[in-house]
Amino acid sequence: MTTVVVPRKALEAARDPEEADSLTGAVVDYVNQIQRAGVYTRRELPAVAMQAYHADYYLAQVNNGGHSQFIGNTGVAMLPTTSGDALAGLKAMGASAQHQILQEMIAWVEEHPSEAAQQNGFENRPAALNALDSRFYEAERQQPMTELAARWIASWPELHTVAQEQYSSEIERLAQLHPHRSHRRIWQSVRQISFQMTDSLQITVAAACGAVAPEPELKLMVLSGSNMEGQQSMAFGVKTDKGPRLCVYEEAGGQLYEYGPGSQSPKPAEMHEILKSFPPALVGARLSVVEADTLRNFSRIAEQNLAAEAIDLLLRKSDLDPSAQITALRVNDDWAAWYAVTGKTSVMVATLGDRADLVGSDGKAALTVTRAEIERHAAEAAAGRDSLRAQA
């Protein structure tokens, strides 16, 4: 990709220094949207776009929580790439003071790797980073980065402006130019479904929702969790089609509870201690229990029968968005049944060794894909994965 597309009004507005962020923001939006729509990697986009993007990210992180937050939110593994882009952008735009400060931060990280890994913007903030923060804020008062960035961006030969009403169609046009786009999009959705079936926390929540009797609950979202006081367990908030829930996640399996206003049912006595970190009035009746063996069977069948690839293929053949939330219903020696929720639609899928069926309301197969079709779809997903790895 050799073009950076922004709305014409963003370039025009940025001629006023007080509106400089309209242009830097437009470049950030471009990078986000072209990566989402076209599945372009960092290496496949114009270098200047990624430099401006990460310079703006650096500015936002330090302004919000200092260099400690920048390190923590970026992660030590990604810090060299992100900082390298930001440094190049700062140099190109002429932000010499901020460039020097970021160089010193990088040197500090290299000299203090253990301390750097603990940074989060709140605790364990070392004096060296606090001093860099003070110098950075003073540099920003003297010469704001955003004004320098806007002038630099406006000079790019890669910059292409369009009318606001043409912007979305131009992004889509550029996205469709990517030769690996379709395979990469398949890989992204297959990976997201597979993660829900094989990650220990995700499959625990999925199976706990599916085990609710007499009717299973459909998992819509897994929320944040916390350690249980004095226990080798964690509790996570969950949204299902029946409302808010609490899933207790531990080595032995998982348990799903009513949670939230109105959950006044008495808790089982054995759970008083494990749930004491949560407001007692908000924790209601236990809805289901799933054991570790069941969870392992779900994950085994998911991998053995290419369940993620099968569900993705069936959703696509049904003209449904493959970005689905998965609930695990039943599992046997060689098959499993799942619910996939996409948008406002939910479908049941049975994944077997030789096929996968999308099950209709009458309990019969409304659509079937064969193992050969599933394997071809899996090969397309693998091609997308491999093309991304080649760009890493």
Which are the contacts of 389, defined by CB distance < 8 A and separation ≥ 6? none
Radius of gyration for the chain, computed over Cα atoms and rounded to the nearest angstrom: 25
- The tokens describing 336, both together, are 């499993």
Q: What is the pLDDT of residues 169-187, one digit of tens each?
A: 999 999 999 999 999 999 9
> How far is Cα 382 from Cα 108, in angstroms, rounded to an integer?
40
Beta-carbon-side half-sphere exposure of residue 351 (alpha carbons within 13 Å) = 31
For the beta sheet containing 365-370, the strands, ordered from the edge strand earlier in sequence to the opposite edge, are 325-331, 336-342, 345-351, 355-359, 365-370
pLDDT above 70 (res 53):
yes
Sign for the CA dihedral angle at 215, 221, 222, 224 comes to negative
The CATH class given to the 4-178 domain equals mainly alpha
Which pLDDT band holds residue 270 (cuts at 50, 70, 90)? very low
DSSP calls for 93-141: HT-HHHHHHHHHHHHHHHH-HHHHHT--SSSS--HHHHHHHHHHHHHHH
* Element (DSSP H or E) covering residue 64: helix 47-74
Rounded Cα distance, 197 and 338, in Å: 10
Strand segments (E) across 243-312: 243-250, 253-259, 283-291
Read off the pLDDT of residues 97-143 as tens digits, 9 standing for 90 and up: 999 999 999 999 999 999 999 998 888 899 999 999 999 999 999 99
Read off the pLDDT of residues 342-369 as tens digits, 9 standing for 90 and up.
Answer: 999 999 999 999 999 999 989 899 999 9
Nearest to 95 by CA among 49, 57, 131, 149: 149
pTM of structure = 0.80
Q: What is the pLDDT of residues 54-113, one digit of tens each?
A: 999 999 999 999 999 999 999 999 999 999 999 999 999 999 999 999 999 999 999 999
Higher pLDDT pick, 242 / 233: 242
Indicate the pairing of strand 159-162 with strand 4-7: parallel
Distance CA 191, CA 188 (A): 5
Q: Is the dihedral of CA 384, 385, 386, 389 positive or negative?
A: positive
CA pair distance 368, 276, nearest whole angstrom: 47
Give residue for tokens 């949670």: 259
Q: What is the pLDDT of residue 279?
A: 60
In the chain, the amino acid numbered 326 is I
